[in-house]
Amino acid sequence: MDTLLPPDIADYASNDHHATQEETTPKQTAPSASGLRAWLGVINATISAIESTAWQGRALAEQTVQAYRAIEAGVEGAAEQYQALTEEAQRWPARLQRLSSTGWMLTRVAARYRFWSIRSAFIPRSKMPAALDRLHRKSAQSFRDISLQHGGAFLKIGQLLSSRPDILPESWVDELSSLQDQASKEPFDSMRAVIETEFGKPLEDIFSEFSEQPIAAASIGQVYRARLHDGREVAVKVQRPGLEEIIELDMSLLKVFAESLRGMLPPTDLDTIVSEIQRSVRQELDYRVEASWMQKISVLLEAAERVRVPKPIKRFCGKHVLTSEFVEGRKLTDVLDEMKQQNDQQGLADVLGRLLDMYLRQVLQAGYFQADPHPGNIMVTDDRELILLDFGCTAELPDSFRKGYFEILRASVIGDNDTVARVLMELGFKTRSGKPDTLLAFNDAILQQIRNMLSEINEQGFVWPTPDDLMEKAKGLFDQATLDPVEKMPAEFILLARVFGTLGGMFLHYQPRLDVTRYLLPYMMMSTE
């Protein structure tokens, strides 16, 4: 049977893994129900995407016939119709190639995990961890390679996953970590053309020096080191050409795959979640918006302790090019990993404490915040100053929401569930039953860690939850959400949850001995007016 399997799946079913029943785990006769649902969901999503593309192809064919008949008849406007048809047809090879490669990758990953649920019954206990790690690593590499190849929204998803060591296996985080600040590099000639088109003059007239090798390559753009004619050293972020077409295709695929998840997850407001993700990604395509937020948050964080945002240089910013001050630094997780290896508990607490303060200041004090805190967007200088980068994904809370979340935080800390439930309902959260139990469970999942850090400090510092504790908590949350799902949530909450989910995962991974009262209480005592 093994010889009939694709090579990457057969790796996990080789004869080396076979053993007698006494050596193996309890025999499983069928894949788990949840694993099978997940696999079928991805298969169905892939088929749906292909069907969607096929119907679009049919529409293109019909458009071709109409254009041909119009040209034959010599009707007015035939030339414009033919030109539109030509431009649409030119996009199709890339669309089909992107769809087939991403859909096939997701299908293969799902198939590996489905097959694992069967074959693991025949693997000796002693070999189980290594075999499972190979499975995780192979799947993560497939996702990483497609993300690097295509960029766009798939790369953004990979970046988000890479910053969640609390929910993903270590091998997944290891393989996806390269997505945080590195992607496939665009040829310099095409990026030079973007700059010169943006400002209507040769590159040499804008910069006295310009390194052709990017110092960072991300999903939306590439960053270069340069020098202005007045001597200032700058970072120049240049958007990849033709990105609008890629992003729109990815957004369509995202919607299709999100629809496929409805049967596998507790009912929730997926429409709002997907719409907010689409809005935030599309916003990133206009660097003028990013430059404005960069300037605004730079001023806000001037009062924060050893935190800095490079200021944009307005004269050299446009829709597709953003020029800002250049600051030297190292990626946040590289510095934190080094501190952890050296058992530098004071350093971990100091850096992560200032990171927490940086986001409390944005969310609670200002009501606007950088909403993409993956480690590639946070640097640390040699003197441990935090540098916050990349404001393409920035969210703003209406003042009523800022005050509402402020009130929820205060009530959560003292365990006032009645106030938490009332404010959540007022902000637009809604459960199927109208009762607040599921909302309170979700609120606990986000804020209980902060409450515990305030109340459960001992001489060794805060006692962090174990993986078993987290699994038990997650199971309870899943059960409650299944019993009484959240059917409506405000769009403003989506990116806020993303931020504190990412930061929470980082805190759980490094487990700093942090005096959270030092950072939280000043905001608790602050007026909301």
3-state SS of 242-276 is CHHHHHHHHHHHHHHHHHHCCCCCCCCCHHHHHHH
Report how far residue 173's alpha carbon sits from residue 108's, in angstroms, rounded to the nearest whole number.
19
Q: Distance (Å, rounded) from C-alpha 310 to C-alpha 297? A: 10
Q: How far is CA 345 from CA 134, 331, 332, 369, 513, in A?
A: 32, 19, 15, 28, 7
The CA distance from 424 to 439, in Å, is: 7
Q: How far apart are CA 365 and CA 499, in angstroms?
A: 16
Q: Which amino acid is at 248?
A: E
Q: Is 396 left (phi over 0), alpha (psi -120 to 50) or beta?
A: beta
Q: What is the distance between the alpha carbons of residues 131 and 413, in angstroms, rounded to a whole number?
A: 43
Report the alpha-carbon distance of residue 514 to residue 502 in Å, rounded.
18
Residue 386 near residue 310, CB atoms below 8 Å = no
Angstrom distance (rounded) from CA 252 to CA 153: 10
18 vs 22: CA distance, rounded Å: 12
Q: Which two tokens stand for residue 77?
A: 């406007």
d(CA 392, CA 282): 9
SS3 of 231, please?
coil
B/e letters for 403-424, b = 16+ CB within 10 Å, e = fewer, are: bbbbbbbbbbbeeeeeebbebb
Could you give the CA distance from residue 431 to residue 486 in angstroms, rounded to a whole number?
Answer: 4
**DSSP helix/strand/coil, 229:** coil
Catalytic, out of 357, 372, 390, 484: 372
Helix residue ranges per DSSP H, 428-513: 437-455, 467-483, 491-510
Is 468 annotated as catalytic? Answer: no
Three-state SS at 459: coil
How far apart are alpha carbons 69 and 58 in whole angstroms?
17
**Catalytic machinery residues:** 372
